[in-house]
Structure 1
Amino acid sequence: MKELKGYRFRIYPDEIQRKFFIETFGCVRFTYNQLLMRRQEPGMEKATPAQLKQEHPFLKETDSLALANAQRNLERAFRNYYNGRAGYPKLKSKKNSWQSYTTNNQKGTVQLADNYLKLPKLKELVVVDQHREVKGEIKSATISAKHSQEFYVSLLCLEEIPPLKKTGEVVKLTFNPHELISMNQKLVLPDFCQKKIDQKIVQAERKLACRKKAARIKKVHLKDAKNYQKQKRVVEQLHTTKANQTKNYLEQVSFLLVKNFDKIKIQNKYLNKEKENRTTTFQLKDWNQFLTKIKYKTQWYDKELI
């Protein structure tokens, strides 16, 4: 069966491409904020990206599909708000560490081949660290950047996913804060240890606290304290590394379960918050991510989830 599947790769744009991405982030953010503010004004009709282009010619220089997707994202945010799934939409800030925009693939405007990425409005191809093969048809591409330094592309593809072989086995799962899951069947899981990264985080956060104290003694604002900001980025990177390690482990465990069992029964017990602390390996947020992965993977590979 055909399903939507995502791929994420690191990209390495040159200076011209980097400038284009940063400008597009700004145009998309500007469009989203303008559309939101105009909806908040009493008696004001909904605006469109086309109308904004007439008022602000600089928007014509960027990818029109990126602006259209900004409008779609705002509409989705309002639907979530009216359905009680989220709060009222907020203005986007340029101070956010992550910035992004999404463009659609129209007749080959987005292509990936031989570690190069083709995107609309860019004359030159973008270098991609393609660590695995992309199968299926590319539907959209999301360009994102952290602090305008690290750039990534996320590709949404429609591809044929063959079902896994039936095993006839059944497993029951519950949440375990130390091992992620407890099960009534024997299954060898990958090794998972975060002691080293946790130690690095503790040391880095202690160093960050010292630099914060030093900045205050010198009466320097934290945003202007170079040593503090440098160490802050080190701490952020360590937390990102830890999150990626956890995510990778969740991917491996969820696939092993779907591969080895035809029927997966999950008892979603709520963890007592008194037991959930920094000494436990897995938190409730990890368990919820695991449930999300199990849900779509059982659907992909024609297995049953209870």
Structure 2
Amino acid sequence: MKRIKMGCTTLSIPAMALGIMRMNQKSVPEAQVAIQAAYDAGINFIDSADIYGGGKSEEIFGQAFSQMQIKREEMFIQSKTGIVPGKRYDFSKEHILHSVDEILERMQLDYLDSLVLHRPDALMDPEEVAEAFDQLQAAGKVRFFGVSNFDTAQFKLLQSCLSQRLMFNQLQFSLKHTGMIDFGMHMNMVDKPSVDRDSQFLDYARLHKVTVQAWSPFQYGMFEGTFIDNDGFPKLNQELQKLADKYEVDKNAIAAAWILRHPANIQMLVGSMNPQHIRDSAKGAKIRLTRQEWYDLYLAAGNYLP
């Protein structure tokens, strides 16, 4: 498994993480198989959130992991908080602290390696968040911190009040969600791709050594479905298959390799609970697409160059 540096640190993390959003749909033994498949493929980074499965995903993970032979210190375990489903976003100190205690209890852990704030809260008080982070770190409950779906100004605002460096920003990025790179290639144009909807965060991340975590790497839309083997995307699947045949892998590996080819050292979140899918996707970390192959896929996905 390809390894990358985490944020501004010298710590090494895998270029892929296992997202456990769907672990609530699995039994404990099935969850163990998925975790082991990821671990054996070099994916020793877990990404969760307190809302996944209404907390059930973390409960299943906790039960599964506690019975496995993998040592806690061999895993990097991350969770997210800040969404109160159907009601509000909540970055209050009280909510953050209470959520972390509940996460640790569900996952049967003494600490989280990373806590990520899950989508921006319009009522965020950066100084209040800073108090929560300081308290969590001082108590040994959280080692590192990050955010999810923050634009550059939101990220800089929060960072200005923190004593810790933010390590991560989770952003949607895939062959069918390319806004973060479209506008750069369409600079000085007046067409639709020239619109910057992501406040140049990818460039900011590279300048300030922030690790971008790409979610939904095989999805189109937000959660409409996968573009892999989807009849609605014949040209893209034809190109994926062509390269899959060349590199002797499956299409998931090629779609993953496309993300990891970007020089920003992006970490990709694999959300599957299918052990074979996990193993197949992990193979993408061993492939370095040529520049032409990368652009061929970009164009086959329905993008165009000015």
Shorter-chain TM-score above 0.5: no
What's the TM-score bracket when you normalise by the shorter of the two chains? under 0.3
| TM-score normalised per structure 1 | 0.26
| TM-score normalised per structure 2 | 0.26
User: Which of the pair has more CA radius of gyration?
Assistant: 1
